[in-house]
Amino acid sequence: MALLHILNYPDKRLNKVAKSVAVVDDRIRKLVVDMAETMYAAPGVGLAATQVDVHKRVITIDVSDAHDDLKVFINPEIVWVSDEKKDWEEGCLSVPGIYDFVERPDKVCVKALNEKGETFEIDCDGLLAVCIQHEMDHLNGHVFVEYLSPLKQTRIRGKMKKLEKAL
């Protein structure tokens, strides 16, 4: 197991579009283990491979209180979204200390491969629905602050510059 370095916004590598996983092999399974360890340690409820500078379509999520319900999504695809939308306060491990509201579909159905390479479908609502959409944005090179006003984005970039200097 290994803790991976999480890229900070506005690092350009966060804007790369991740490639599909051709075969779910031991290298991908090792990536999943390391991503899960990194996500739990952060702590966070989700992590996309893009955030650890690996540009493959892999996501880990655990929204359980006991941190005992790890969900792995490889090559995730949204197959259905609800018409109803909801505002949810989001955070991001790549934008530490910044939380703001984003409107997204309230419910989604996602198809993906698990770490055994088997296809599954899952109906998501609540935080799981928000988190899977947030993580799929990462795989497509997008960070949640892009949904915020230009003024807020400028302020966040300023805060991140200060944070980088302090490190």
**Judged by CB under 6 A, does residue 75 bind ligand K1U?**
no
Q: Which residues are annotated as a binding site for Fe cation?
A: 92, 134, 138
**50 touching ligand K1U, by CB under 6 A:** no
Pick between residue 33 and residue 63 the one whose CB is nearest to ligand K1U: 63
* 47 near Zn ion, rule: CB under 5 A: no
d(CA 45, CA 131): 8
Is residue 92 close enough to count as binding Zn ion by CB under 5 A? yes
What whole-number distance in Å separates Cα of residue 61 and Cα of residue 41?
A: 13
Residue of 15, 82, 91, 163 interacting with ligand K1U (CB under 6 A): 91
Q: List, as one string, the DSSP characters of 126-158.
A: HHHHHHHHHHHHHHTT--GGGGS-HHHHHHHHH
Considering the rule CB under 6 A, would residue 141 count as an interface residue with ligand K1U?
no
How big is the chain by its Cα radius of gyration, in Å? 15
Beta strands in 1-99 (DSSP E): 46-48, 58-61, 71-81, 85-90
131 interacts with, out of Zn ion, ligand K1U, none, CB within 5 to 8 A per kind = ligand K1U
Residues interacting with ligand K1U, by CB under 6 A?
43-48, 90-94, 130-131, 134-135, 138
Active-site residues: which are they? 135
